[in-house]
Amino acid sequence: MQSTMNAVRVIAHSLLLVASLAVGSGVYAAGAAPLDAPLTASMQCERLVDEDFKNSVDAPLSVLSAKLIAAKDGTGEYCAVNGYIQPQIQFEVRLPSKNWNGRYFQVGCGGFCGVININNCADALAANFVVAAHNMGHVGLVVKDPIWGSDPSLREDYAGRSTHLMSVAGKELAARYYGKRPARSYFRGCSTGGREGLTEAQHYPEDFDGIIAGDPAFPGRLGAIANNWDAQKLLRDDGSEVFTPAKLAVLNAGVMKSCDKLDGLVDGILTDPRTCKFDPAKLQCKQGDGPDCLTAEQVSAAKALYSGPVNSKGEKLMPGATPYGSELSWSGAGRRSLAEGYLRYLAFPTNPPADYNYRTFNFDTDVAKTEQMAALYDPVAPFESPDLRAFEQRGGKLLVYHGWADAGVSPMAMLDYYAQVTSRQGGGEKVREWFRVFMVPGMFHCRGGNAPNTFELLPELVKWVEQGVAPDRVVATQSGAQGLIRTRPLFPYPSYAKYTGKGDVNDAANWVQASPKKEPDDRLDWLRAPK
């Protein structure tokens, strides 16, 4: 069944790509726009409502509204277009009316999506990109109850069809509005958006010239397995949390006391949490419970998260596990919301009964039952390795970033993915010519953490795609209520930042690039590893 599913998916993706390229009256019929030569719209914004898009894109498109929005707060005047693509892919595209730079930018979503994150395009719109966002084919809550998953066609849209069709439709709208198609196209997303980016690179390699994928969340690995495992360990049967915030602080303090110094600097940040071997049992209370120690229940839960999901045979069910240093972001309720929503509506070919409980899932017998849907949603199907050869050959550039303290999506899983690519496509040095990973010490899932966690990658990606200048160093910042706290450079993995030993430790200028003596092989042995 799995091999049949994969074959159908590949054929469907190929047909969609051929169809989009073959449409004579669509976006590919218009000439390419010049870059950075401010272009003005060739038609009135409101007239886009009257344009016929039924036969010009892969699926019928209807524009519901088009309204000119006045310039404000550094963003120029733009045409806001709202519409939907068959069957239910709702979107918004914003097109600068006077100063288009010739580029298209699309943003990804998060969680189960169901919303249009157009405001996450604000920086690109201010820089005069055409920008677009969509709801991944359904209306719903981002972190719970994906009841739309009862419809197979909406599952297909969530898997990647909607992201592809949005790119085709967004470029077509630009072609109609300006009389020119975008010369370059870019994508950026984190979590589910990061997964969208990797799906685009593998299954729709012609859609984008450059992709930024942050902390990519593979739903087939997370919903039924990792999120569920964490929820079962962090919550009691009655739904109460095993850890209070105060006890998570105790655990985090113990980790930092033991491991912070391993990178040569005590600064509250673990450069690479894989070097930490802290045993939570060291914090167990001698007499039941106390404010500065952990109960036996809490020690057991912490050990289970650090080791990661396993079955009764001890086989690892995920590549990687919850990293040390992420403790302050642990949430059993958050994990349960994602796990239970996925298990009820998305994990199985046929949904379980309405009263299905996340604790019903059996890590021995039920993991295999989720493989068919994992092959649909995840950029890489179970037992397969990523194949980005088409994206590389067409000149695409891929930037991935991942928080080293991401408790929601294991950073080790990202490095396993990267290692699979480097192994398949010529080794690390060659792959870094078009695919670079930036690991962010101390950062939680996509953002947050007591560490520099804010950085700009879109300008770097544009320079890489259009000028051939690869990003060798990116500066991350950390700010608080009183302003800037510290800055630190990020370097392409496996390189990392090392303090020079002189000057302000909170100033990126006093950090240099360091590299391991040899290229690491981060491929992991787990149940669904490539065969």
Of 130, 153, 181, the domain-final residue: 181
Q: State residue 29's pLDDT score.
A: 58
Give the list of residues 6+ apart from residue 240 with CB closer than 8 angstroms, or none: none
Q: State residue 57's pLDDT score.
A: 74
- Claim to verify: residue 323 and residue 370 sit in the same structural domain: yes
- Claim to verify: residue 193 and residue 267 sit in the same structural domain: yes
- Claim to verify: residue 15 and residue 96 sit in the same structural domain: yes
Q: State residue 16's pLDDT score.
A: 41
Q: State residue 508's pLDDT score.
A: 98
- Claim to verify: residue 21 and residue 144 sit in the same structural domain: yes
Domain carrying residue 449:
183-218+260-272+384-531
Give the list of residues 6+ apart from residue 103 with CB closer than 8 angstroms, or none: 35, 129, 130, 182, 183, 184, 185, 186, 462
- Claim to verify: residue 41 and residue 158 sit in the same structural domain: yes
- Claim to verify: residue 268 and residue 278 sit in the same structural domain: no
- Claim to verify: residue 91 and residue 227 sit in the same structural domain: no
Phi, psi of 318 (to 5 degrees): -140, 150
- Claim to verify: residue 160 and residue 24 sit in the same structural domain: yes
- Reference 451, options 323, 354, 321; nearest CA is 323
- Residue 296 DSSP symbol: H
pLDDT below 70 — which residues of the chain? 1-29
- Claim to verify: residue 446 and residue 485 sit in the same structural domain: yes
Tell me if residue 62 falls in helix, strand or coil. strand
| Bond preceding residue 494 cis, omega within 30 of 0 | yes
- Claim to verify: residue 292 and residue 193 sit in the same structural domain: no
Q: State residue 56's pLDDT score.
A: 72
The residues pairing with 301 across neighbouring beta strands, listed in sequence order, are none
Q: How many domains, the chain?
A: 3
H or E stretch including 233?
A: helix 227-234
Rg (CA), the chain: 23
- Claim to verify: residue 46 and residue 69 sit in the same structural domain: yes
Of 342, 377, 412, the domain-final residue: 377
Distance, CA of 530 to CA of 524 (rounded, Å): 10
Reported in sequence order, the residue ranges of 130-279 that DSSP labels E, i.e. its strands, are 130-134, 184-190, 210-214
Count Cβ atoms below 10 Å from residue 344 Cβ, excluding itself.
23
Tell me if residue 418 falls in helix, strand or coil. helix
Instruction: Output helix, strand, coil percentages for the chain, rounded to the nearest 5.
Output: 40, 20, 45
Q: Which two tokens stand for residue 429?
A: 């040095």
- Claim to verify: residue 189 and residue 280 sit in the same structural domain: no
Of 349, 377, 405, the domain-final residue: 377
